[in-house]
Structure 1
């Protein structure tokens, strides 16, 4: 076996450097460094060529090369806000289905909006060697979590929520535009007294929805007072608490515009107990497209977002990063449409099962 065509031996092996590997493959030393340190930014084909060359030449890090070729766990992490919320349940199912099609399993956890739980979950996933993580839970103050992921060279994709100004992949909805769409529909009914109920404002999605609601109302000359702009937990219980707060404040407004279907269902439960008819006495709208029918007599008006498509797209993007594809962060905006039901005050005859398409993907 010659020195140029086979593995080097003896003292010459100690002299095989990253530069030797780079020349052998025809790439830069930086590319070899990226591969040998397990960093993203190199295609899977090029990564395999570099690792094979390192082993062939007897590079002093050839044991590292062998390790890198076999170290993938074929497991990704998925961190949800609250798996009891049907939105996140469906996201989980979509990610798991897409991952299994490509030979991955999924380590699922939820945080219930706790930053401490998020930090512990991400640390555990890193320690267990996940190949990448899909995150639906990020808040602006979660920078330490991002730093931990980048230090460990674990790729990640933000789904639905994102940290503003973070240079990272994201898949989600144009929440601001969607919020304007549903508020415009509510205002077209002639309602003047409006309340909005959204999730935590530290969530980029909830914050954008509230801003869209307020902007659409203001464009029609309607100001929503602060006491009627409520932020609550993203659950049915959060919706119940919010409407109880409004009831304690005085007569209900004409319309309750909610930032999630889970919140809207909690609102509708309290109204039903109080003998208030949604759609007749008070308009109620949701956001997410989770509940086709609230009861036999009412269908919720809501923004429908393609949850399975969002889940699959986020996994596909993560899988590319795991395989070493570099390039600029991808911002993928999925389509949405307004599904008109009866809780907004529209009659049964106006309900269109297929919905009205109102937005297209933006990249």
Structure 2
């Protein structure tokens, strides 16, 4: 079936092409009777608005490109669900891709998003992303929102959480339970997220006159197997403390596996804390104590900034660092 265009809709409704265009684009001030007639005809003819043509006429796009580092971690599933719902409710459309922690792939995806005519881009950057990597997108005049992990020196908008406070809350929870040594497992070294959490942990130690060495930092991969492997290795060397901070809640499931293999009871023989506050933490036994870093709110706020109907040059790029909170459950020994 040949797709009907706006000329066919106008002819069938007995109005001018201009009037049909006003009705179908939601602009102008046609009468209610005219609007109703045009919409009924458009529906009967199966008219679909040509968004690409509209972009050419108006210079605006309702497409929001979203590039995530990965989507395997349930944290990102929660973030993107909130983000996509916000964009949809505003009449926009999400174009989603994953960079798989690959800088070259991220560069190609950013170029592809620009080529697709998106109006803005939301990016959760891969490890090693620099301000220079993001400059081409900003040079095209697109609104760029970096989320979760900041990029030092970038002129893009940013939405994330206070990483230093997050690290402080995790360590303070364990210290308040009586622990005096701990290990922080996972996270890519020298990213803003890892650096911030490490700084928060060290500050919590300093507030109790404990040395930085009271927390062993073990940076690395973010998946559960990494946490399990490192805990078993530390145990084999006789240096595994009975307090563990995992870089995310997903990784904490690996720490639980290691504890079982070592014959340790989580919340009894060993305390474990995560970051994210995703539903998975409630499934673990016992339920995981975690730092809520607001994935849904990060997604919604990022979308709201990306959808703002102003020129990039009209305002400075906003920067939002959300306030984290500790969610106490049963995986930490009670004080």
TM-score by length of 1: 0.71
Residue 159 of structure 1: CA displacement?
Answer: 1.0
1:342 corresponds to 2:330? yes
Over the aligned positions, Cα root-mean-square deviation in angstroms equals 2.3
- Counterpart residue number, 2:130: 142
What CA deviation, in whole Å up to 9, does each residue of 1:163-207 have, x standing for no partner? 123233111111101211221121011112211113112431222
1:191 corresponds to 2:162? no
Residue 321 of structure 1: CA displacement?
Answer: 5.7
**In structure 2, what is the Cα distance between the partners aligned to 1:303 and 1:345?**
16
**In structure 1, what is the Cα distance between the partners aligned to 2:110 and 2:229?**
31
Q: For 1:287, what is the secondary structure of its paired residue? A: strand
Q: For 1:267, what is the secondary structure of its paired residue? A: helix
The correspondence for 1:121, drawn from 80, 99, 109, is 109
1:293 corresponds to 2:289? no
1:252 corresponds to 2:233? no
| Residues 6-21 of structure 1: pairs in structure 2 closer than 5 A | none
The correspondence for 1:79, drawn from 67, 75, 81, is 67
Residue 139 of structure 1: CA displacement?
Answer: 4.7
Residue 144 of structure 1: CA displacement?
Answer: 3.4
CA shift in 2, pair 1:202/1:80, >3 Å: farther
**In structure 2, what is the Cα distance between the partners aligned to 1:276 and 1:240?**
13
CA shift in 2, pair 1:226/1:163, >3 Å: farther
**In structure 2, what is the Cα distance between the partners aligned to 1:143 and 1:164?**
7
Q: For 2:205, what is the secondary structure of its paired residue? A: helix
What CA deviation, in whole Å up to 9, does each residue of 1:56-81 have, x standing for no partner? xxxxxxxxxx9754344421111112
Contact map agreement 2:249 2:281 (CA 8 A) in 1: no
CA shift in 2, pair 1:209/1:226, >3 Å: same
Contact map agreement 1:134 1:158 (CA 8 A) in 2: yes
- Counterpart residue number, 2:208: 220
1:302 corresponds to 2:258? no
Give the length in aligned residue pairs: 281
- Counterpart residue number, 2:51: none
1:173 corresponds to 2:161? yes
Task: Give the gaps of 5 or more residues in structure 1.
Answer: 1-65, 348-363
Residue 104 of structure 1: CA displacement?
Answer: 1.4
Residue 343 of structure 1: CA displacement?
Answer: 0.9
Q: For 1:103, what is the secondary structure of its paired residue? A: coil
**In structure 2, what is the Cα distance between the partners aligned to 1:325 and 1:143?**
18
Residue 234 of structure 1: CA displacement?
Answer: 2.0
- Counterpart residue number, 2:36: none
**In structure 2, what is the Cα distance between the partners aligned to 1:201 and 1:280?**
30
CA shift in 2, pair 1:238/1:118, >3 Å: farther
Residue 108 of structure 1: CA displacement?
Answer: 1.3
Q: For 1:93, what is the secondary structure of its paired residue? A: helix
**In structure 1, what is the Cα distance between the partners aligned to 2:97 and 2:262?**
37
Task: Give the gaps of 5 or more residues in structure 2.
Answer: 1-53
Contact map agreement 1:140 1:164 (CA 8 A) in 2: no
**In structure 2, what is the Cα distance between the partners aligned to 1:112 and 1:183?**
30
**In structure 1, what is the Cα distance between the partners aligned to 2:148 and 2:162?**
9
**In structure 2, what is the Cα distance between the partners aligned to 1:196 and 1:248?**
17
- Counterpart residue number, 2:257: 269
Contact map agreement 1:301 1:344 (CA 8 A) in 2: yes
Residue 339 of structure 1: CA displacement?
Answer: 0.5
| Residues 149-160 of structure 1: pairs in structure 2 closer than 5 A | 149-160=137-148
**In structure 2, what is the Cα distance between the partners aligned to 1:215 and 1:76?**
39
